[in-house]
Amino acid sequence: MVQSSFDVFTLWKEIYNKTENIWNNTLQETLEKKIFAESLGQIQSQYVQYQELVNKLTESYLKQANLPTRDEIANVASLIINVDSKIDQLEDEFDAQRDRIIKEIENLRKSVSSLEKKLDKVIELLNQTLEAAEESKTSIAAAGNKTVSK
Amino acid sequence: MVTLDATPIKDWIESLPKNDTIEKLKRLNEVLFTDPDPQVGQTPKEVIWTKNKAKLYRYRPYKEKTNKVPILMIYALINKPYILDLYPGNSFIEYLTDRGHDVYLLDWGTAGFEDRHMKLEDYIVDYIPRAARKVLKHSGAKEITMFGYCMGGTMTAIFTALYQKKLPIRNLILLTSPIDFQDAGLYTNWLDKRYFKLDHIVETFGNVPFEFIDFGNKLLNPLSNTVGVYVNIASNVDNEEKILNWKLMQKWLNDGVPFPGEAYRQWIRDFYQENKLINDELEIRGERVLLSNITANLLNIVATRDNIVLPQQIKPLNEKVSSKNKTLHIVSAGHVSVITGKRAVAEQYPYIEQWISDNSK
């Protein structure tokens, strides 16, 4: 059975809320000081030096154990990335060429279509000329016949 | 989330007499040690391009695409991008796709040791423009909206300044993105060249571990980031919604990726220590970055309670750009609550979505 009791979480929250500002102001003052930045820099330097030592020891161990080091594995990965980049460039080049070809084909299509229209016009004009010539020929012949029959 | 064998603690709690406090303690033990992590990034998506570890996602909308201008999201190199698609009902990407926007996101992936020589400019010149072109091609759109969050926003602003004339960038949306590093708060002191041995750090680590950067971020507000988070969850342990949100935030905050070494060196030196960007002194692959080259419509969002990127680091951008349409939107939120949580869903999401819609016609 669940019994109601004193809630430690509420108390914890109340204590935190009441003291947060005081602590924050004190901490903030410290964090803003130049001396803090200097100390932080020193701690960082020591940590980085420790990391440097770990890196050297690890590399030396891997070499002695005849195992590939992090640099060597990274070099292989770099080679793969280079190939990836080249494929990317080729893809870009291919896209650019394809766009250019599509544009050229489109221009050609327009030119051919315009030529077709022009040719149609020429044919139409030729037909009209031929028809006119035929008509005039017929009318001349008819006029000639009339003259002969008179 | 901490992973350890909590069976002895569980057994001990079980052996105590039952009351409300013990029940809460039991639940707290489950929340901290045994509950599974919530599943993040649930909006359906497909990969449309990859390069090295980076992936370009296109989010598959549940609703028909009604907005013609696609949105490309760029995130910081040090975190995972699922903060923009955290959880159903608490996802900025889901909100946008549900309203007919075509959303793409460039996920940087996790840098390996082989990527330690990658510079910021490699990402800005080799990745972002290509991704933007892929988005334009994939969507068949004539223009693009760029969206950058945090450091990703700084990179997006640089990209826009360099590529504004080469690519049809219509809109630029920046969310808590630092531009001016004159006063970066506590970081200005901590990253002082006299104390902070930048070269030594980069040369030793190769890629700078996430924990190293996270330590600095937590130190900005040490009490709240260490004791405060646990007090907060302990006092809300009977509220399942609050537990879920707490877990989501803790998952994201502790789930970072290493910072590629050379990019870190460039970020700290050129930005924090020498403040080159706002002073038109930054060079990317030999080309000077002039923020005045930006002519895209600009929405620049500042969170007033942000202690990672201070408001004074963001605001000066609006004075530098040449955009005719520029908005500085100031909200009362923190660095993360600006884009997640109930208030973000109720206020920020509709505001940004409306701005995008208004500027994409």
For the record, the structure tokens of A45 come out as 């330097």
Residue whose C-alpha is closest to residue B195's, from A39, A21, A132: A39
d(CA B300, CA B176): 8
pLDDT, one tens digit per residue, over B264-311 is 999 999 999 999 999 999 999 999 999 999 999 999 999 999 999 999
Residue ranges per structural domain of chain A: 9-67, 88-142
Say yes or no: B231 contacts chain A, CB-CB below 8 A.
Answer: yes
Q: What is the pLDDT of residue A148?
A: 67
More confident call, A24 vs A2: A24
- Helices within A4-69 (DSSP H only): 8-32, 34-64
Q: What is the pLDDT of residue A3?
A: 47
**Residues in chain A, overall count:** 150
* CB-based contacts of B233-237 (< 8 A; 24+ apart in sequence): B233/B28, B233/B31, B233/B32, B234/A9, B234/A12, B234/A13, B234/B24, B234/B28, B235/A9, B235/A10, B235/A12, B235/A13, B237/A9, B237/B24, B237/B27, B237/B28, B237/B31
Nearest 10 degrees: Cα torsion B16, B21, B27, B32? -100
pLDDT, one tens digit per residue, over B166-205 is 999 999 999 999 999 999 999 999 999 999 999 999 999 9
Q: What is the pLDDT of residue A5?
A: 55
Amino acid at B253: L
> Which domains can be identified in chain B, with CATH numbers?
45-359 (3.40.50.1820)
| Shortest CA gap A136–chain B (Å) | 59
Share of chain B above pLDDT 70, in %: 99
User: What is the pLDDT averaged over residues B314-318?
Assistant: 98
For the record, the structure tokens of B347 come out as 């206020």
Q: What is the pLDDT of residue B326?
A: 98
pTM beyond cutoff 0.90: no
Name the residue of chain A whose CA is nearest to B134's CA: A92
User: What is the pLDDT averaged over residues B343-360?
Assistant: 96
Other Cβ atoms closer than 10 A to B348: 23
β partners of residue B300: B174, B328
Q: Helix axis angle, B7-15 relative to B20-29, nearest 10°?
A: 170
B324: left (phi over 0), alpha (psi -120 to 50) or beta: alpha
Q: What is the pLDDT of residue A1?
A: 43
Cα–Cα separations (whole angstroms), residue B254 to A103, B251, B257: 50, 5, 9
Say yes or no: B196 contacts chain A, CB-CB below 8 A.
Answer: yes
Instruction: Pick the most confident of B21-25, B87-91, B234-238.
Output: B87-91
Residue whose C-alpha is closest to residue B333's, from B344, B342, B346, B345: B344
d(CA B309, CA B150): 8
State yes or no: is B199 an active-site residue.
Answer: no
State yes or no: is B306 an active-site residue.
Answer: yes
B286: left (phi over 0), alpha (psi -120 to 50) or beta: left
For the record, the structure tokens of B138 come out as 């994939």
In the predicted structure, residue B1 carries a pLDDT above the cut 80: no
Of B101, B107, B150, B270, the active-site residue reads B150
**Do residues B5 and B18 make contact, with C-beta atoms less than 8 angstroms apart?**
no
Residue whose C-alpha is closest to residue B162's, from B108, B126, B199, B216: B126
In the predicted structure, residue B359 carries a pLDDT above the cut 80: yes
Say yes or no: B237 contacts chain A, CB-CB below 8 A.
Answer: yes
- Helices within B172-271 (DSSP H only): 186-190, 198-205, 210-219, 222-223, 229-235, 240-253, 261-266
Please report the beta strands in B15-53, taking only residues with DSSP state E, as ranges in sequence order.
45-51
ipTM of the complex: 0.83
| Shortest CA gap A107–chain B (Å) | 20
State yes or no: is B150 an active-site residue.
Answer: yes
**Beta-carbon separation of A3 and B231 below 8 A:** no
Say yes or no: B29 contacts chain A, CB-CB below 8 A.
Answer: no
Share of chain A above pLDDT 70, in %: 93
Cα–Cα separations (whole angstroms), residue B194 to B6, B159, B199, B200, B206: 45, 31, 12, 13, 21
Backbone φ and ψ of B99, nearest 5°? -105, 20
**Do residues A81 and B114 make contact, with C-beta atoms less than 8 angstroms apart?**
yes
Is residue B287 helix, strand or coil?
A: strand
Q: From the list A5, A52, A78, which residue is nearest B21 (CB)? A: A5
Share of chain B above pLDDT 90, in %: 82
Other Cβ atoms closer than 10 A to B133: 17
More confident call, B62 vs A2: B62
d(CA B150, CA B159): 14
Q: What is the pLDDT of residue A2?
A: 45
For the record, the structure tokens of B313 come out as 């680091």
| Shortest CA gap A1–chain B (Å) | 7
Say yes or no: A139 contacts chain B, CB-CB below 8 A.
Answer: no
CA B327 to chain centre: 20
Residue whose C-alpha is closest to residue B28's, from B312, B295, B301, B237: B237
In the predicted structure, residue A139 carries a pLDDT above the cut 90: no
